[in-house]
């Protein structure tokens, strides 16, 4: 079974704090995507990482893809209440036995940033 | 760009009736569309993959006769939940993939449809 383990499951922090969310697997992925989902809405793509060791920055968000393309992390600096939401990682197994465009989703990290 | 819409956003129906959910790619042609189901406080579970003009591929455990998928055009896929029961109540999300944007083209998600079966 191809699994993506996300941790932590829940995170409640104060505004201004830093945090890191982890996404780990024993499987290799062609690429890995991070999404943010608000209650009652669909996931919104934040970033796609493709190359092992790749680091991408999106304002206060830093995404890293592991060298072996099995894990990824999302780091948020100086979190704000607007960052509150469900963060999902999803791995693309397309070139490693997955069907076309088959994303494997982690269970998500529910982040709450209090003012 | 890459906007995906779903209709309706919410639907309440009686047990035994059928419900159709539409998924449209508004500004691009989607060669592949995906249907997911999400239970409260859980992640997305892929139900099926549909390619325009061909039969959908269903994930293990998903009844193809209950969840009918039609991908008749490059911008529209429909999911029909037939003879709905309360256990079918869930949040259904579609996504669309252009297929011609390179090897690592992303899936763009719709806003979801909340189905409640009474």
Going by pLDDT thresholds of 50, 70 and 90, the confidence category of residue B17 is very high
Q: Does B91 touch chain A (CB under 8 A)?
A: yes
The pLDDT of residue A103 is: 83
Q: Is the peptide bond before B8 cis (omega within 30 degrees of 0)?
A: yes
Assess whether pLDDT exceeds 90 at residue B5. Answer: yes
Q: Which residues of B touch A40 (CB under 8 A)?
A: 91, 112, 114
B45 and B62 Cβ atoms separated by less than 8 Å: no
- Contact assessment for residue B99 and residue B105, using Cβ atoms and an 8 Å cutoff: yes
Q: How confident is the model at residue B2 (pLDDT cuts 50, 70, 90)?
A: confident
Q: Residue A52: its pLDDT value, please?
A: 94
Q: Say yes or no to pLDDT of B105 above 80.
A: no
The pLDDT, as a whole number, for residue B58 is 93
User: One digit per residue, pLDDT tens: chain A, 115 residues?
Assistant: 557 899 999 999 999 999 999 999 998 888 899 999 998 899 999 999 999 999 999 999 999 999 999 999 999 999 999 999 999 999 887 665 555 557 888 989 999 999 9
B54 touches chain A (CB under 8 A): no
Task: Name the residue among A23, A10, A7 with its Cα closest to residue A90.
Answer: A23
Nearest chain A CA: its distance from B8 CA (Å) = 13
Which pLDDT score, from 0 to 100, does residue B97 have? 86
Q: Is B63 left (phi over 0), alpha (psi -120 to 50) or beta?
A: beta
Instruction: Check pLDDT > 80 for residue B41.
Output: no
**Cα separation, B5 vs A18, whole angstroms:** 34
Contact in structure between B6 and B111 (CB atoms under 8 Å): yes
pLDDT of res. B106: 76
Among A1, A43, A99, which would you mutate to test the B interface (most chain B Cβ atoms within 10 Å of its Cβ)? A43
Q: Which residues of A touch B (CB under 8 A)?
A: 30-31, 33, 35, 40-45, 48, 50, 88, 92, 99-103, 105-108, 110
DSSP B12-51: EE-TT--EEEEEEESSS--SEEEEEEE-TT--EEEEEEEE
* Predicted pLDDT at A1: 52
Query: Distance, in angstroms, between B17 CA and closest chain A CA?
Result: 23
Give residue B44's Cα distance to chain centre: 12
Diameter of chain A measured on Cα atoms: 45
Q: How confident is the model at residue B54 (pLDDT cuts 50, 70, 90)?
A: confident
Per-residue confidence (pLDDT) for residue A73, from 0 to 100: 97
């Amino acid at each position: 079974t191809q699994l993506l383990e996300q941790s932590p499951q829940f995170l409640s922090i104060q505004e201004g704090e830093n945090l890191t969310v982890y996404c780990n697997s024993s499987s290799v992925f062609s690429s890995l995507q991070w999404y943010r989902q608000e209650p009652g809405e669909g996931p919104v793509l934040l970033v796609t990482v493709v190359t092992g060791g790749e680091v991408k920055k999106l304002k206060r968000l830093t995404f890293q893809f592991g060298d072996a393309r099995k894990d990824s992390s999302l780091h948020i600096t100086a979190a704000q209440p607007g960052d509150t939401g469900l963060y999902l990682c999803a791995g693309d197994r397309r070139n490693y036995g997955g069907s076309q465009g088959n994303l494997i989703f982690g269970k998500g990290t529910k982040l709450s940033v209090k003012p | 760009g890459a906007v995906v819409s779903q209709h309706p956003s919410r639907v309440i129906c009686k047990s035994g009736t059928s419900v159709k959910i539409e998924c449209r790619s508004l500004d691009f042609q989607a060669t592949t569309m995906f249907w997911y189901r999400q239970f409260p406080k859980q992640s997305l579970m892929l139900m099926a993959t549909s390619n325009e003009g061909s039969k959908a591929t269903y994930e293990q455990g998903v009844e193809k006769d209950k969840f009918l998928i039609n991908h008749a055009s490059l911008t529209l896929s429909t999911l029909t939940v037939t003879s709905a029961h309360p256990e079918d109540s869930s949040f259904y999300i579609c996504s669309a993939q252009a297929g011609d944007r390179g090897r690592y083209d992303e899936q763009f998600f719709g806003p979801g449809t909340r189905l409640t079966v009474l």
